[in-house]
Amino acid sequence: MNLLNKLKDEINELKDELIELRRDFHMYPELGFKEERTSKRVAEYLKRLGLDVRENIAHTGVVAILEGKEEGKTVMLRSDMDALPVEEQNDVPYRSRNEGIMHACGHDGHMAMLLVAAKILSHHKEEIPGRVMFLFQPNEEVAGARQMIEEGALDDPHPDGAFAIHLWTPIESGKMGISAGPVMAALDEFKVRIKGRGGHTGAPHTAIDPILTAADFIQSVQMIQTREIDVLKPTLIMFGLVNAGTATNVIPEYIDLGGTIRYLYEGGSESPEKPLVRFERILKKVCEAHECTYELEFIPSNSTLINDDKMANLVSSVAKDVVGAENITSYIGTAGEDFAEFAKIIPSCFYFVGAGNPKKGIIYPHHHPLFDIDEDVLPIGVEMHIRTAIAFLRKE
């Protein structure tokens, strides 16, 4: 194929545009389901390529279809679009212009890579044996994929296979992480309110202290992941929110807790491990011991992300030609990723392109206010998108 023979040259010719796109998205980040400017820019770019573009799916989602020369399968390439409620601390020309919001997870790079891949593929549509669906998803951080599916994003045409890339700073630039089976954890958020009886800190015996109860619960619930569930079936219970009180000398009426439960096994909360059932059992017993009551809400976010074996093998085969076999590693993480919702109904592979570079000071983890990516890896993502799509469509 002329496309594959000249691919690296075509990508290099578009590298400046690729970086400009990423930096523009980075400067104007938007939160989940509020990606108005982002969505508009994505849709306009795809329309200029002559693609069939559908907008406003799940509020701000965009889907574009590239019809190849011949009838064949449909492959989906996905990018997320949302940013995080983080105040950026990087001192760079493309620093976020939107106060309190930052692309601290790499989604800006994901959009840029997929748009440039779409541009190159559209220039070679006569060589494509089938269709390519470019799906730009809102609200990845809190389960936007499920809503896109519910609103028909995959109905016409329905993809036969799907791929997604995540830029990943824990992996060194020039390397890639590809694994079959479970690769990202299921995620449920929780909100807990423990209710006691308020009073004076000088007379605690006349009150029921919800803060002490919460401290007991936070400690006790950790035994689920170390004493009740096999350590070879990873389970993480983490608290990210603790709010209580109005003054230093007042015992409050209640305390609010929030956090996440993550698990890296099939079946998630409905599995034999039943992490959510165990969580509430301990909460109930601790509150009874302290004579408190509680309110509990679980907010499902995404399932365990499980890569199809054949799709992961295809990606690994392509990656050997892009970065070399010596630069491919297995990678499994306990962060959540709602591409899992697509992977449940389409044979899929979600994989990682390393974007960390200590020589450039790019050492900070995802969701950190100093997070950044090595922009020199963006062409790798573009090439992987194109090569995996073509390999899938050509494969019998």
Residue 361 CB neighbours (<10 A): 10
Helix (H, G, I), strand (E, B) or coil at 68: coil
Residue pLDDT, tens place only, 87-97: 999 999 999 99
pTM higher than 0.85: yes
Q: Which of 80, 82, 337, 372 is an active site residue?
A: 82
Residue pLDDT, tens place only, 257-282: 999 999 998 776 678 899 999 999 99
Distance CA 109, CA 381 (A): 9
Distance CA 381, CA 173 (A): 11
DSSP 241-303: EEEE-SSTTEE-SEEEEEEEEEE-STTGGGSTT-HHHHHHHHHHHHHHHTT-EEEEEEEEEE-
Ramachandran category for residue 58: left, alpha or beta (phi over 0 → left; psi -120 to 50 → alpha): left
Mean of pLDDT values over 13-38: 98
Are the C-beta atoms of residues 102 and 83 closer than 8 Å to each other? yes
What confidence score (pLDDT) does residue 357 get?
Answer: 98
Q: Is the pLDDT of residue 383 over 80?
A: yes
Residue pLDDT, tens place only, 129-179: 999 999 999 999 877 999 999 999 999 999 999 999 999 999 999 999 999
What percentage of the chain exceeds 70 in pLDDT? Answer: 99
E strand or H helix at 350:
strand 348-356
Confidence of residue 324 (pLDDT cuts 50, 70, 90): very high
- Over the range 225-252, which residues count as b (16 or more CB within 10 Å of their CB) and which as e? beeebeeebbbbbebeeeebbeeeeebb
Domains in the chain and their CATH numbers?
2-182+305-394 (3.40.630.10), 186-302 (3.30.70.360)
Distance CA 63, CA 74 (A): 13
Q: 100 phi and psi, to 5 degrees?
A: 75, 5
Q: Which of 30, 80, 140, 341 is an active site residue?
A: 140
Q: Is the pLDDT of residue 100 over 90?
A: yes
Burial of 2 from C-beta contacts in 10 A (0-12 / 13-18 / 19+):
exposed
What confidence score (pLDDT) does residue 169 get?
Answer: 98
Q: Extract the annotated binding site.
A: 105, 107, 141, 166, 367
What confidence score (pLDDT) does residue 268 get?
Answer: 66
Active site residue 36: no
Mean of pLDDT values over 12-17: 98
E strand or H helix at 132:
strand 130-137
Active site residue 88: no
Radius of gyration of the chain (CA): 23
Number of alpha carbons in the 13 Å side-chain half-sphere of residue 86: 19
Q: Extract the annotated binding site for Mn(2+).
A: 105, 107, 141, 166, 367
Are the C-beta atoms of residues 104 and 88 closer than 8 Å to each other? yes
- Over the range 11-43, which residues count as b (16 or more CB within 10 Å of their CB) and which as e? beebeeebbebbbbbbbbbbbbbbbeebbebbb
What confidence score (pLDDT) does residue 187 get?
Answer: 87
What confidence score (pLDDT) does residue 195 get?
Answer: 98
Distance CA 74, CA 68 (A): 10
Cis peptide preceding 157, ω within 30 of 0: yes
Q: Is the pLDDT of residue 396 over 70?
A: no
What token pair was written down for 118? Answer: 């779409």
**Which of 52-66, 108-122, 265-279 bottoms out in mean pLDDT, i.e. has the lowest?**
265-279
